[in-house]
Amino acid sequence: MDPRDIHTPVMLERCLELLAPALEREGATYVDGTLGMGGHAEAVLARFPGARLVGLDRDTDALRIAGERLASYGDRVRLVHTVYDGILEALGGTRADGILYDLGVSSLQLDEAERGFAYAQDAPLDMRMDQTSGITAADVVGTYGEGDLRRIFERYGEEKLAGRYARAIIDERSRGAITRSGHLVDVLQKATPAALRNAGHPAKRVFQALRIEVNGELTALERAIPAALESLSVGGRLVVLSYQSLEDRFIKRLFAEATRSTAPAGLPFELPEHQPKFRLLVKGTELASEEEAARNPRAKPVRLRAIERIRESA
């Protein structure tokens, strides 16, 4: 299996263009916070011969596949098995010059039916990106109370029928454990009012919510972005690709905080120490071109944001 045939890196040229001023510097350090199958990472290593890669992923399969793919780059490559908020530890005191977070699940994870990410295929309800630790989706579905299930479906899935689906799961559980994705899809389908059955797949948002809960995705992201910003050298750049409005709103807020002046309200002038340490490289978000979205369906929902460090912290 060649990873190049499974996954086409999203907005690749734009990412390289945004990272170029930082990664063209000799000895630059590039952190790929979501290495996946190493598509973006390989392109960075090829385009910027003076750059070294620190590649992070919590999925050991991804690290193995990317490791084989990038083997010819020798000691320019260092891969670390970690949740991406471990970026500072992974860097061990080195500053990062370019960082990319390409959020969400990989094509590899979606395509491997047995991992339970896809509602279209019946499989054990697992959904852990790191299969070496943590609770599974079956644990969440089997042990969380009704209120907690409703809360995660509402918050992480923005699901309007959250209460109804939580109730249906509790009812079904009393008849026997829900351990497979097909069983859960069935429960959700039956709980969906007939009038709404054609309004998108009823399991889509619930599966998204379970995945976010199982992997603690938003908690990790909330810690990862400030850590990534802290690690950047002056002139260093961070690019984030998100695929859900929930994640994108998060990035928007964290970038807005980082680029804001810290001058107290009412001060008639801004002291140098109050000036922002970062500037936005992209106004709002950028989307993939129509041509890319048509060619690569994964690119359709993407939103890109990018930021640069313009001065040192005090």
Footprint of ligand SAM (CB under 6 A): 7, 9, 34, 36-40, 56-59, 62, 83-84, 102, 104, 106, 129, 220
Distance in Å, CB of 100 to ligand SAM, minimum: 7
Closer residue to ligand SAM in complex, CB, 220/280:
220
Residue with tokens 């054609």: 198
Annotated ligand binding at 39? The verdict is yes
Q: Which helix (H) or strand (E) holds 190?
A: helix 181-191
Annotated ligand binding at 235? The verdict is no
Kindly report the number of other CB atoms within 10 A of residue 133's CB atom.
7
Give the 3-state secondary structure of residue 9. coil
Distance in Å, CB of 312 to ligand SAM, minimum: 27
Distance in Å, CB of 286 to ligand SAM, minimum: 17
Distance in Å, CB of 19 to ligand SAM, minimum: 13
Closer residue to ligand SAM in complex, CB, 98/104:
104
DSSP state letters, 133-157: SS--HHHHHHHS-HHHHHHHHHHHH
Annotated ligand binding at 121? The verdict is no
Annotated ligand binding at 148? The verdict is no
CA-CA distances (angstroms) from residue 307 to 29, 89, 183, 229, 237? 16, 22, 43, 9, 6
Q: Where are the alpha helices (DSSP H) in 216-283?
A: 217-231, 245-258
Distance in Å, CB of 289 to ligand SAM, minimum: 18
Annotated ligand binding at 38? The verdict is yes
Residues paired with 56 in a beta bridge: 80
Closer residue to ligand SAM in complex, CB, 58/150:
58
Long-range (24+ apart) CB contacts under 8 A made by 111-116 are: 111/6, 112/61, 116/181
Annotated ligand binding at 275? The verdict is no
Distance in Å, CB of 170 to ligand SAM, minimum: 29
CB 181 within 8 A of CB 122: yes
CA distance 274 to 104: 35
The length of the chain is: 314
Long-range (24+ apart) CB contacts under 8 A made by 198-205 are: 201/119, 202/161, 203/119, 204/119, 205/153, 205/157, 205/158, 205/159
Distance in Å, CB of 106 to ligand SAM, minimum: 4
Annotated ligand binding at 40? The verdict is yes
Give the 3-state secondary structure of residue 232. strand
Closer residue to ligand SAM in complex, CB, 187/302:
302
Closer residue to ligand SAM in complex, CB, 9/116:
9
Tokens for 161, please give them.
């029928």
Closer residue to ligand SAM in complex, CB, 142/226:
226
Closer residue to ligand SAM in complex, CB, 42/172:
42
CA distance 208 to 117: 9
Pick out the residues of the known binding site for S-adenosyl-L-methionine.
Answer: 38-40, 57, 84, 102, 109
Pick out the residues of the known binding site.
Answer: 38-40, 57, 84, 102, 109
